[in-house]
């Protein structure tokens, strides 16, 4: 090999090493892959709607961080623009998870406006739902105090409709690599990371803006 080629080849090799060691490229929004979000090349949306950017929070009523996030997330979600579709999704870690089933049962009875935030309060403030060990009967008692008929709730809890919702929730979680709560998924394309609860919402807003800019 001609000696004059060696310095050039060394320079190319050094440049290649630098490229491999460099952090993921930043988009114009300043977000960094692996620090602020995880891309989901095989991800899926929960309930895609034409012209809508979907945001899903996977939560659990017993989750302390979910409880702390909810006072921020609730008002934030209510202020979202019309082109954003926001969904809560209870974490269906198992088919019989009573907490997730309680959410879907309340949803089927059109009672979520009464039960959702009240479930967090019952569990983390009032103690009427004893954490992860809460039973179907204990949920029924709390929800009865909110005007949800006990018999209707327990029937919904065991219904095929709730079975189907649990299966769909589990499929969404697996497809998007959800392993804990709270987890936010944007458009089935990004799993939000974040270093604080407020940071989760900041990153979500920027990813929504990214999706909006990329839309046809």
13-36 pLDDT per residue, tens: 444 443 444 344 445 899 999 999
Q: How many CB atoms lie within 10 A of CB 74?
A: 14
Count up the domains in the chain and report the number. Answer: 1
State residue 27's pLDDT score. 59
Domain holding 72: CATH number? 3.40.30.10
- The confidence score (pLDDT) of residue 216 equals 81
CB 183 within 8 A of CB 191: yes
User: 18 in a domain, yes or no?
Assistant: no
Residue 16 located in a structural domain: no
Q: For residues 213 and 5, which has the higher predicted lDDT (pLDDT)?
A: 213
Q: Looking at the domain assignment, is residue 127 inside a domain?
A: yes
Percent above pLDDT 70 for the chain: 88
Give all strands (DSSP E) within 63-200, no chain letters: 84-90, 183-186, 190-192
Question: Mean pLDDT in the chain?
Answer: 90
For residue 11, tell me if it sits in a domain: no
Buried b (16+ CB within 10 A) or exposed e, 26-50: eeeeebeeeebbeebeebebbeeee
pLDDT at 28: 87
pTM, two decimals, is 0.87
Residue 17 lies in a domain: no
Structural domain includes residue 8: no
Structural domain for 75, as ranges = 37-214
Phi, psi of 182, deg, nearest 5: -80, 150
The verdict on residue 30 lying in a domain is: no
């Amino acid at each position: 090999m001609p000696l004059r080629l060696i310095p050039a080849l060394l320079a190319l090799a050094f440049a290649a090493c630098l490229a491999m060691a460099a952090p993921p490229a930043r988009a114009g929004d300043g977000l960094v892959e692996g620090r602020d979000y995880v891309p989901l090349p095989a991800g899926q949306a929960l309930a895609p709607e034409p012209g809508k950017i979907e945001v899903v929070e996977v939560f659990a009523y017993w989750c302390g961080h979910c409880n702390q996030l909810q006072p921020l997330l609730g008002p934030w979600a209510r202020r979202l623009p019309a082109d954003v579709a926001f969904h809560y999704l209870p974490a269906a870690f198992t088919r019989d998870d009573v907490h997730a089933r309680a959410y879907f049962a309340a949803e089927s009875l059109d009672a979520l406006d009464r039960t959702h935030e009240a479930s967090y309060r019952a569990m983390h403030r009032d103690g009427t739902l004893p954490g992860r060990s809460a039973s179907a009967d204990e949920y029924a008692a709390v929800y009865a105090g909110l005007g949800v008929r006990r018999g209707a709730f327990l029937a919904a809890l065991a219904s095929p409709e709730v079975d189907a919702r649990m299966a769909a929730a589990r499929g969404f979680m697996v497809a998007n690599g959800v392993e804990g709560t709270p987890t936010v998924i944007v458009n089935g394309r990004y799993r939000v990371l974040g270093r604080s609860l407020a940071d989760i919402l900041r990153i979500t807003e920027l990813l929504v803006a990214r999706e909006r800019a990329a839309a046809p």
